[in-house]
Structure 1
Amino acid sequence: MAERPTMSWRRGVAEEAQELAAGTLDSDCACMAALFPDELLVATDAVLGTFEAELPALAEDDDAQIFAVVERVVLALNAVNDARNGCAFETGEREELCAYIDEALTERGVDVVALTARHGIGRYELTDKWRKW
């Protein structure tokens, strides 16, 4: 299964905490805990867990069903972002989330390139219709 972006975010928070504890990082340079508070990670993981739970039931040739699943995950991530005043996901995190959605669908057998082409959009526009983050 595609690795959730929250896994690398959690690793970054943990590594930074270790560096702070060891005195190898100045607290003025620490930012991971502020960027990725536990509430954000838990909320994002819940959304991604729901998305992952929907994947096995997807018919890889049912465009409407696939887009409905993408819409639900994107709208749920919008809600997570809104709960943090629109500041939950920076550019890098947005790219990671979009790549994760693409990779998870691909692993399920969805040809994302063909899917998006059939609808006149590029592969990297899969989430654009609903995404506010």
Structure 2
Amino acid sequence: MAIRPSARWRARADEEATELAAGTRAPSDAFLSELFPESLLAATDAALHEFELDVEALRDQDDEKAFEAIKRVILVLNGINEDHDGAGYETQEREELCLYIDHALAEHGIDVPALVARRGISRTEITDDWRDW
């Protein structure tokens, strides 16, 4: 099962906090708690959980249902990003989120290459119609 990016971000921030507490990381080298505030992690995790529930029900649905699920999660993620001054998701996080969406679809039985081919787009464009970040 694909690991939610928010879980990886939380683990990195927790590791940094542990290193700070142990004195093995200088405070001047610590930035993950600012990059990944709890509000961003919790909201992103909840959005991805809802997306997982949506795609779990898609196995025999048409393409439009799949794209509706993608649109829903992207619009929620757009709102989360805006709630964090438009800087919630930087380049690496954007790539991780898009890859997660692709993997979650595939893990739930969606033939992603066929899905995007029928829409005339590439896999990397699957979120582009709605994504602001």
TM-score normalised by the chain length of structure 2? 0.96
What stretches of structure 1 move > 6 A for 4+ residues in a row?
none
Task: Please give the root-mean-square deviation of Cα atoms over the aligned residues, in Å.
Answer: 1.0
2:92 aligned with 1:92, yes or no? yes
Contact 2:59 2:108 in 1 (8 A): no
- Structure 1 residue 116: Cα displacement: 0.6
Q: How far, CA to CA, are the matches of 2:46 and 2:96 in structure 1?
A: 16
**Structure 2 gap ranges (5+):** none
Q: How far, CA to CA, are the matches of 1:113 and 1:123 in structure 2?
A: 7
2:70 aligned with 1:51, yes or no? no
- Structure 1 residue 111: Cα displacement: 1.0
Q: Which residue pairs with 2:65 in the alignment?
A: 65
| Paired residue type of 1:32 | L
Q: How far, CA to CA, are the matches of 1:82 and 1:63 in structure 2?
A: 28
| Paired residue type of 2:109 | G
Q: How far, CA to CA, are the matches of 1:78 and 1:3 in structure 2?
A: 20
**Structure 1 gap ranges (5+):** none
2:36 aligned with 1:36, yes or no? yes
Q: How far, CA to CA, are the matches of 1:115 and 1:101 in structure 2?
A: 13
Contact 1:61 1:110 in 2 (8 A): no
Q: How far, CA to CA, are the matches of 2:120 and 2:43 in structure 1?
A: 32
Contact 2:7 2:45 in 1 (8 A): no
| Paired residue type of 1:19 | E
TM-score normalised by the chain length of structure 1? 0.96
